Amino acid sequence: MLKYTFRRLGALIPVLIGMSILVFLIIRAIPGDPAQTILGDKASEQAVENLREQLGLNNPIYIQYFSYMKGLITGDLGTSIRTSSPISADIWPYLAATIELAFVALIIAVVIGVNAGILSAWFQNSIFDYTAMIIALIGISMPVFWLGLMEQWAFSLELGWLPSIGRESVRDPITPITHIYMIDTLIQGDFDQFVVVIKHLFLPGIALGTIPMAIFARMTRSSMLEVLRSDYIRTARAKGQKMFVIVYKHALKNAFIPILTVIGLQTGLLLGGAILTETIFSWPGIGRYIYEAIQYRDYPVIQAGILVIATIFVLINLIVDLLYAAFDPRIKY
Partner 1 sequence: MKKQFIRFGLLLVFMLLIVGCSEDSSTEGEGETQDPGETEKATELQDTLVFGRGADSTSLDPATETDGETFYVTQQIYDTLIDYEDGTTKLQPALATEWEASEDGKTFVLTLRDGVTFQDGTPFNAEAVVANFERWMSAEDFIYYGSMFGGYGEDEANIIERVEATSDLEVTFQLKRPSAPFLKNLAMSPFAIASPEAFDSLAENPVGTGPFKLDDWARNETITLVKNEDYWEDGKPYLNRVIFQVIPDNSARLTALQNGEIDLMDGVNPSDQTIIESDENLKVFSRAPLNVAYMPMNNETAPFDDPLVRQAVNHAIDKEALIEGFFEGNAEPAKNMLPPTIDGYNDEIEPYAYDVEKAKELLAEAGYEAGELEVDLWTMDNPRPYMPAPAKIAESIQKNLADVGIIANIQTLDWSTYLEKAKNGEMPTFLIGWIGDNGDADNFLYTLLGTGSGNNYSFYSNEAVDKILLEAQAATDDAARADLYKQAQVLIHKDAPVVPLVHYESLMAGSSTLENYTPAPTGSEDFTDVTFSE
> Under rule CB under 8 A, how many of the chain's residues touch partner 1?
53
Binding of partner 1 by 92 (CB under 8 A): no
CB atoms within 10 A of CB 189: 8
- Of 221 and 288, the one with the shorter C-beta distance to partner 1 is 288
Q: Does 202 bind partner 1 (CB under 8 A)?
A: yes
Asked if 292 touches partner 1 (CB under 8 A), the answer is yes
In whole angstroms, the minimum distance from the beta carbon of 78 to partner 1 comes to 16
* Residues whose CB is less than 8 angstroms from the CB of residue 147 and which lie 6 or more positions away in sequence, other chains included: 206, 207, 210
Cα-to-chain-centroid distance, residue 329: 28
169 binds partner 1 (CB under 8 A): yes
Between 100 and 129, how does the x/- string for binding to partner 1 read (CB under 8 A)?
-------xx--x------------------
- For position 259 contacting partner 1 by CB under 8 A, the verdict is no
From 34-42, 122-130, 216-224, 302-310, span contacting partner 1 (CB under 8 A): 34-42
**Binding span for partner 1 by CB under 8 A among 67-75, 120-128, 136-144, 247-255:** 247-255
Residue 303's Cα: distance from chain center in Å? 18
Contact at 8 Å (CB) between 278 and 289?
A: no
For partner 1, the closer CB: 1 or 294:
294
How far apart are the C-alpha atoms of 90 and 292, rounded to whole Å?
A: 13
Residue 161 in contact with partner 1, rule: CB under 8 A: yes
286 and 271 Cβ atoms separated by less than 8 Å: yes
Taking the complex as a whole, the smallest distance from the CB of residue 195 to partner 1 amounts, in Å, to 4
- Note whether 184 binds partner 1 by CB under 8 A: no
> Which chain residues interact with partner 1 by CB under 8 A?
40-42, 44, 83-84, 90, 93, 107-108, 111, 145, 148-149, 152-153, 156-157, 160-166, 169-173, 192, 194-196, 198-199, 202, 248-249, 253, 279-282, 284, 288-289, 292, 294-297, 327
